């Protein structure tokens, strides 16, 4: 009997200690700390722990230390992490509509992307995966993608015969097929090695990812066609989020809004400064296209849209096009 009482007391005190434990939020991502997303994850941790003193503990796992980008969304669904910010291309298995962000030459600039995200379709996309267990909290920027290779790409024909690393994106697959380029989907964490070993001869990415990973150590030419935008959806496990105490959830949502402003500010800044750092390294040349050259890329790549319209929906594509017009 005495043993039973002691066991009950031990069990109860353990349960009480668990109730008092801070809520653990594990944020896994694939880029370095020196990128907009890396800064965003660290700032989220700082603000959440400062403002929710003792109620929340945030662990950040950058550089694919915990999960690769092809594993992060499953890990989120299985409850192995609570936050992730995969690039738009990584959502294809969960939402075909998210492919809108990858369509080449759809958005004219970052402001157009922001207008689309703030509009009806953009807001709906944040909740489009809730039935599957994934809740979108915010959109985060990185920057316009730049194509690279070891030969100068000035017109589409220059890319013919190359092999490019792509994100797991059906749009990118079709886009590069139109250019006569073979594609190898590869997790972000393996791209530097893939370029170094010559497994792939080209890739496309935003300047902060290129510079922080040193892709310019193995790529001589970077072509700025401004054909697509690399951005993220900050996502959480929908059940975890709705189960948070309302005051904690409310404060975290406020923090997410603040962090988003800062991430996007840093993204704008790094799109210039990391580009400049690559130029100053003198390891690579940045190719700026003439209007005629740009038109040639547009002519080859825009027809890719039609293959994806049935999956994305005409209305969403039209809303994206309307976002190109200044308000």
User: What does the binding site for ligand SIN look like in residue numbers (CB under 6 A)?
Assistant: 30-31, 69, 87, 142, 167, 188, 205, 209, 230
CB of 23 to ligand SIN, least distance (A): 25
Nearer to ligand SIN, 48 or 206 (CB): 206
CB of 129 to ligand SIN, least distance (A): 18
CB of 266 to ligand SIN, least distance (A): 13
Query: What is the C-alpha to C-alpha distance for residues 225 and 176, in angstroms, rounded to an integer?
Result: 14
CB of 209 to ligand SIN, least distance (A): 5
17 Cβ contact partners less than 8 Å away, ≥ 6 residues apart: none
Name the residue number minimizing CB distance to ligand SIN: 188
Q: Identify the burial level of 96 via C-beta atoms within 10 angstroms of its C-beta, where 0-12 means exposed, 13-18 middle and 19 or more buried.
A: middle
Nearer to ligand SIN, 128 or 148 (CB): 148
Nearer to ligand SIN, 89 or 95 (CB): 89
CB of 205 to ligand SIN, least distance (A): 5
Nearer to ligand SIN, 69 or 82 (CB): 69
Nearer to ligand SIN, 41 or 58 (CB): 41
CB of 73 to ligand SIN, least distance (A): 12
26 Cβ contact partners less than 8 Å away, ≥ 6 residues apart: 58, 59, 61, 66, 80, 81, 82, 83
Nearer to ligand SIN, 67 or 251 (CB): 67
CB of 188 to ligand SIN, least distance (A): 4
Nearer to ligand SIN, 32 or 321 (CB): 32
């Amino acid at each position: 009997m005495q043993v039973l009482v002691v066991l009950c007391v031990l069990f109860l005190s353990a349960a009480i200690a668990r109730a008092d434990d801070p809520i653990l939020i594990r944020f896994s991502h694939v880029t370095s700390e020196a990128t907009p997303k890396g800064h965003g994850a660290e700032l989220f941790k700082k603000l959440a722990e400062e403002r929710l003193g003792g109620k929340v503990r945030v662990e950040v796992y950058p550089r694919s230390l915990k999960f690769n980008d092809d594993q992060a969304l499953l890990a989120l669904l299985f409850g192995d992490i609570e936050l992730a910010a995969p690039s738009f291309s990584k959502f294809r298995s969960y939402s075909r509509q998210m492919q809108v962000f990858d369509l080449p030459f759809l958005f004219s600039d970052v402001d157009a992307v922001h207008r689309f995200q703030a509009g009806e379709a953009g807001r709906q996309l944040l909740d489009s995966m809730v039935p599957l267990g994934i809740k979108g909290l915010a959109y985060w920027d990185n920057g316009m993608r730049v194509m690279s290779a070891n030969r100068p790409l000035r017109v589409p024909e220059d890319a013919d015969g190359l092999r490019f690393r792509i994100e797991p994106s059906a749009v990118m697959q079709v886009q590069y097929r139109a250019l006569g380029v073979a594609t190898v989907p590869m997790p972000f964490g393996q791209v530097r090695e893939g370029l170094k070993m010559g497994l792939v001869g080209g890739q496309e990415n935003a300047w902060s990812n290129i510079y922080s990973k040193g892709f310019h150590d193995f790529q001589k030419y970077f072509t700025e066609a401004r054909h697509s935008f690399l951005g993220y959806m900050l996502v959480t496990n929908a059940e975890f989020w709705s189960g948070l105490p309302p005051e904690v959830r409310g404060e975290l949502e406020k923090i997410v809004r603040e962090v988003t402003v800062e991430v996007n500010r840093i993204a704008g800044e790094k799109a210039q400064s990391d580009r400049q750092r690559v130029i100053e390294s003198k390891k690579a040349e940045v190719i700026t296209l003439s209007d005629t050259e740009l038109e040639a890329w547009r002519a080859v790549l825009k027809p890719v849209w039609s293959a994806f319209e049935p999956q994305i929906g005409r209305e969403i594509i039209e809303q994206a096009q309307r976002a190109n017009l200044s308000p």
